């Protein structure tokens, strides 16, 4: 995940996604490349073709914010893509988006502060857990552990959502919209790679998944990124059936690079009933699996 290679492939992939019509240009009849030509991006960004070609070769070191913004406008980047471009530029300058101000976590296995455990345990109506940019689950309340029972059941997953998504067959049942979940997972990892390109554990994870999963390798090559803050997801839990849950993901100021995610159900919905049933099941794990609530 060399930074220049990331920059080159990201800019090339974004250029290929824009049609001349979208950019307000004549398409012509003798196009040999998908999307826009380099010369067209350069004209839209008000820079020379030579300078844009230098940027697309991966040379973002020292590029000014105004140039990056012009490039983002020309390539019609969304908020997540614009942030990713800025992260790539910061990495090219030798800075780290995750450690500003410079603050490095001590080496060794991370342990949650007791007050964080108290906070998680105080959340009883929905699954709540802490994860890093590699999607390692680092701490969870009781409901989150029951919610991710398939993930924890297989030691090979190493409590990592990306390994579960791409290497564990149980994920195909847990995520009814598996392709969407897979796209989201890879986009989160790609975003993390832009923020922290020197994360060896992330390098190793991407290498493992690229080797073992064609589905991951194809998605990784697309260079799609996303800001993962809020939304709705669909799940099928082995014990309580279908769940439609809203999520909120909050960056933890006290722990740079970590995120707290909480799932909740709409009040009065079958999914809220399902979470109550899941809480009961989690409290008495040796009892038979409960009957899933009605979806009507």
Q: Is the peptide bond before 101 cis (omega within 30 degrees of 0)?
A: yes
Q: Are residues 149 and 272 in the same domain?
A: yes
* Residue written as token pair 């020309």: 74
Q: What are phi and psi of 183, to 5 degrees?
A: -60, -45
pLDDT of 120 strictly over 50: yes
| Alpha-helical segments (H) within 60-134 | 65-74, 79-92, 114-122
| pLDDT of the residue at 93 | 83
pLDDT of 174 strictly over 90: yes
Q: Are residues 256 and 124 in the same domain?
A: yes
Look at the alpha carbons of 94, 95, 97, 99 in this order and tell me if their dihedral is positive or negative: positive
Q: In this structure, how many other beta carbons lie within 10 angstroms of the beta carbon of residue 177? A: 12
pLDDT of 153 strictly over 90: yes
- Residue count of the chain, please give it: 296
Task: Render pLDDT for 237-254 as a digit per residue (tens, 0 to 9).
Answer: 999 999 999 999 999 988
Last residue of a domain, one of 92, 124, 143: 92
Q: Are residues 85 and 119 in the same domain?
A: no
Rounded to an integer, what distance in angstroms lies between the CA atom of residue 104 and that of residue 199? 13
| pLDDT of the residue at 100 | 44
Task: Render pLDDT for 157-173 as a digit per residue (tens, 0 to 9).
Answer: 999 999 999 999 999 99
* Residue written as token pair 């195909």: 172
The answer as to whether 106 is a domain residue is: no
Burial of 41-57, coded b for 16+ CB within 10 Å and e otherwise, reads: bbbbbebeeeebeebbe
Task: Render pLDDT for 83-119 as a digit per residue (tens, 0 to 9).
Answer: 999 999 998 887 654 444 334 444 456 888 899 999 9
Q: Are residues 14 and 85 in the same domain?
A: yes
Last residue of a domain, one of 92, 126, 142: 92
| pLDDT of the residue at 28 | 66
DSSP assignment string, 203-226: HHHHHHHHHH-HHHHHHHTTT---
Q: What is the CATH number of the domain that holds 42?
A: 1.10.260.40
Q: Are residues 65 and 201 in the same domain?
A: no
How many domains are contained in the chain?
Answer: 2
Task: Render pLDDT for 40-54 as a digit per residue (tens, 0 to 9).
Answer: 999 999 999 999 999
Q: Are residues 67 and 167 in the same domain?
A: no
Last residue of a domain, one of 25, 57, 92: 92
The answer as to whether 174 is a domain residue is: yes
- Residue range of the domain that includes 9: 3-92
Q: Are residues 81 and 155 in the same domain?
A: no
């Amino acid at each position: 995940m060399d930074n220049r290679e990331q920059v080159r492939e990201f800019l090339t992939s974004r250029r290929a996604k824009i049609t001349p019509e979208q950019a307000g240009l004549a398409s012509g009849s003798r196009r040999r490349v998908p999307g826009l030509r380099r010369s067209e991006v350069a004209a839209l960004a008000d820079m020379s073709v030579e300078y844009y070609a230098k940027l697309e070769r991966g040379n973002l070191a020292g590029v000014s914010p105004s140039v990056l913004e012009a490039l983002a406008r020309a390539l019609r980047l969304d908020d997540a893509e614009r942030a990713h471009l800025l992260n790539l530029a910061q990495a090219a300058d030798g800075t780290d988006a995750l450690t500003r101000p410079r603050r490095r976590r001590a080496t060794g296995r991370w342990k949650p502060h007791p007050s964080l455990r108290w906070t998680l345990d105080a959340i009883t109506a929905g699954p709540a857990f802490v994860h890093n940019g590699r999607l390692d689950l680092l701490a969870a309340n009781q409901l989150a552990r029951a919610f991710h029972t398939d993930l924890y059941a297989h030691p090979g997953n190493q409590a990592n959502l990306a390994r579960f998504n791409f290497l564990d067959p149980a994920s195909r049942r847990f995520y009814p919209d598996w392709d969407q979940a897979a796209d989201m997972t890879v986009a989160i990892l790609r975003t993390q790679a832009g923020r922290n390109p020197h994360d060896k554990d992330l390098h190793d994870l991407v290498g493992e998944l690229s080797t073992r999963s064609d589905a991951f390798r194809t998605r990784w090559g697309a260079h799609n990124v996303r800001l993962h803050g809020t939304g709705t997801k669909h799940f099928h839990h082995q014990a309580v059936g279908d769940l439609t849950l809203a999520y909120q993901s909050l960056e933890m100021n006290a722990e740079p690079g970590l995120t707290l995610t909480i799932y909740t159900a709409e009040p009065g919905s079958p999914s809220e009933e399902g979470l109550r049933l899941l809480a009961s099941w989690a409290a008495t794990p040796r009892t038979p699996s409960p009957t899933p609530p009605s979806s009507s």
